[in-house]
């Protein structure tokens, strides 16, 4: 089946219209994965519904996932991890025959299968740059996810960035790296801009230069395929400015701080997994 045929026969219900639901829907609509008429968002918060009405007035918006308008073949669960079992147990039989996709951190495939009552479940760890078509998503599939489902998942996620299939056992590590990663990089951009301001640059100029430097460097790493260490060496002239900056970063432990951040986030994802072992419990 051609990709456009595959996408056009589906309707998607997104349960939870918060930060990540917005990023995924925004990215998918911008990439023409689905038209607004093919999407329904379930959002109990009045404040959040106002955002959806303002930003995506042509998308169906309902308060409750048992609303008939929310009845789609594909359902994306985008609520906090502790709310997933609450959503799953809302109405008997409502999940049968549906492809259920969860983006909840620390909720593994076996729990999803247990809560939703079948194995046609997919666990995805996306990240917020999906909003601008530059996401990094990893996914793993339950036993009853068919080839056509896999094609849909891969096409939908690829439209909003990188999509890679992994094992369920790798998902906590993915969460620590790319799921939480945009926050680390935003901190880096903000801190670099602060440095620019300290050095006398106006804030907006410092922010422009800092964010473009991160964007350009990431593209260079991907497009040249060269090791980041090699590209770093190419910037640092002997006795020059960059090596002085690098020494300051090494003195402050940037590398070990970043490694520790990924590890801490991964461990938190593992903790959420064990906390959510019982229906309705767990951290949000
Ligand atoms: N924010 C991020 O960068 C990422 C988040 N995730 C996962 O995405 C999920 C959502 O996270 P965020 O969007 O950040 O949280 P959020 O708090 O911004 O959004 C959750 C939304 O769910 C709604 N909600 C609460 N109960 C509901 C119910 N019974 N039915 C329907 N909607 C309900 C809330 O009103 C809220 O708008 C979490 O499980 C998180 O682990 C995964 C990857 C990245
Ligand atoms: O902070 C969180 O729990 C979610 C999961 C990955 C990114 N944000």
Q: Are residues 21 and 162 in the same domain?
A: yes
Q: How confident is the model at residue 55 (pLDDT cuts 50, 70, 90)?
A: very high
**Secondary structure element (H or E) that encloses residue 207, with its range:** helix 203-224
Q: Angle at which helices 181-198 and 203-224 pack, to 10 degrees? A: 130
The per-residue pLDDT for 283 is 42
Three-state DSSP class for residue 136: strand
The per-residue pLDDT for 274 is 76
Q: Are residues 52 and 101 in the same domain?
A: yes
Q: How confident is the model at residue 156 (pLDDT cuts 50, 70, 90)?
A: very high
Whether 283 maps to a domain, the answer reads: no
Q: Which residue has the tokens 């793993």?
A: 140
Q: Are residues 162 and 213 in the same domain?
A: no
Ligand nearest to C-alpha 103: 1
Whether 281 maps to a domain, the answer reads: no
Q: What is the token pair recorded at 15?
A: 């349960």
Q: Are residues 24 and 165 in the same domain?
A: yes
Task: Give the residue, out of 105, 184, 187, with the most ligand 2 atoms within 8 A of its beta carbon, to mutate for a pocket test.
Answer: 105
Q: What is the token pair recorded at 255?
A: 């590398």
Q: Are residues 80 and 210 in the same domain?
A: no
The per-residue pLDDT for 22 is 97
Q: Is the pLDDT of residue 1 over 60?
A: no
Q: Is the pLDDT of residue 33 over 80?
A: yes
The per-residue pLDDT for 63 is 97
Q: How confident is the model at residue 229 (pLDDT cuts 50, 70, 90)?
A: very high
Cα–Cα distances in angstroms (integers) from residue 239 to residues 182, 233, 245, in the given order: 33, 12, 11
Query: 17-21, 91-95, 229-233, 257-261 — which is least confidently predicted?
Result: 91-95
Is 17 annotated as belonging to a binding site?
yes
- The better pLDDT of the pair 90, 18 is held by 18
Query: 71-80, 82-91, 165-174, 271-280 — which is least confidently predicted?
Result: 271-280
Q: Which residue has the tokens 């060496």?
A: 233
Q: Is the pLDDT of residue 199 over 80?
A: yes
The per-residue pLDDT for 93 is 85
Whether 155 maps to a domain, the answer reads: yes
> Do the Cβ atoms of 119 and 113 come closer than 8 Å?
yes
Q: Are residues 59 and 155 in the same domain?
A: yes
Question: pLDDT tens for residues 14-32?
Answer: 999 999 999 999 999 999 9
Cα–Cα distances in angstroms (integers) from residue 141 to residues 21, 41, 78, 123, in the given order: 20, 23, 17, 6
The per-residue pLDDT for 72 is 94
- Mean of the pLDDT values across residues 270-280? 70
The per-residue pLDDT for 276 is 67
DSSP code for 91: S
Q: Are residues 24 and 155 in the same domain?
A: yes
Instruction: Report CA 14 to chain centroid distance, whole Å.
Output: 14
Residue with CA closest to ligand 2 atom 3:
105
Domain extent at residue 160: 3-171
CATH number of the domain residue 133 falls in: 3.40.50.720
**Cα 182 to ligand 2 centroid, rounded to whole Å:** 10
Three-class SS of 165-203: ECCHHHHHHHHHHHHCHHHHHHHHHHHHHHHHHHCCCCH
CA distance 270 to 265: 9
Mean pLDDT in the chain? 93
CATH number of the domain residue 205 falls in: 1.10.3730.10
Task: Give the residue, out of 79, 88, 181, with the most ligand 1 atoms within 8 A of its beta carbon, to mutate for a pocket test.
Answer: 79
* Residue 175 in contact with ligand 2 by CB distance below 6 A: yes
**Cα 19 to ligand 1 centroid, rounded to whole Å:** 7
Is 78 annotated as belonging to a binding site?
yes
The pTM of the full predicted model, rounded to 2 decimals, is: 0.94
* Residue 81 in contact with ligand 1 by CB distance below 6 A: yes
Q: Are residues 83 and 38 in the same domain?
A: yes
Please count the structural domains in the chain. Answer: 2
* Residue 265 in contact with ligand 2 by CB distance below 6 A: no
Q: Are residues 63 and 189 in the same domain?
A: no
Q: Is the pLDDT of residue 284 over 50?
A: no
Q: Are residues 113 and 240 in the same domain?
A: no
Q: Are residues 104 and 135 in the same domain?
A: yes
**Cα 75 to ligand 2 centroid, rounded to whole Å:** 20
Cα–Cα distances in angstroms (integers) from residue 41 to residues 9, 17, 36, 62, 111, in the given order: 18, 6, 10, 6, 24
- Mean of the pLDDT values across residues 145-174? 96
The per-residue pLDDT for 281 is 41
The per-residue pLDDT for 151 is 95
């Amino acid at each position: 089946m051609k990709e456009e045929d595959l996408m056009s026969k589906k309707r998607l219900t997104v349960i939870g219209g918060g930060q990540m639901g917005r990023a995924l829907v925004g990215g998918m609509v911008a990439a023409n994965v689905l038209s607004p008429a093919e999407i329904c968002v379930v959002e109990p918060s009045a404040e959040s519904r106002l955002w959806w009405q303002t930003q995506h007035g042509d998308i169906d918006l309902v308060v409750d996932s048992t609303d008939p308008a929310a009845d789609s073949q594909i359902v994306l669960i985008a609520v906090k991890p502790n709310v997933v079992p609450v959503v799953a147990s809302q109405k008997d039989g409502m999940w049968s025959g549906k492809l259920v996709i969860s983006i909840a951190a620390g909720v593994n495939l076996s729990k999803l299968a247990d809560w939703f009552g079948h194995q046609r479940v997919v666990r995805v760890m996306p990240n917020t740059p999906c909003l601008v078509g530059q996401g990094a998503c990893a996914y793993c599939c339950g036993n009853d996810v068919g080839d056509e489902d896999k094609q849909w998942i891969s096409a939908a996620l690829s439209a909003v960035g990188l999509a890679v299939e992994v094992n369920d056992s790798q998902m906590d590590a993915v969460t620590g790296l790319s799921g939480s990663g945009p926050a680390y990089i935003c901190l880096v951009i903000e801190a670099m801009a602060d440095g620019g301001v300290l050095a006398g640059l106006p804030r907006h100029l410092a922010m422009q230069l800092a964010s473009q430097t991160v964007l350009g460097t990431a593209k260079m790493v991907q497009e040249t395929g060269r090791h980041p260490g090699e590209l770093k060496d190419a910037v640092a002239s002997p006795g020059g400015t960059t090596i002085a900056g690098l020494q300051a970063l090494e003195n402050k432990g940037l590398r070990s701080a970043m490694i520790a951040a990924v590890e801490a986030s991964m461990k938190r994802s593992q903790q959420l997994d064990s906390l959510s072992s019982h229906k309705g419990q767990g951290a949000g």
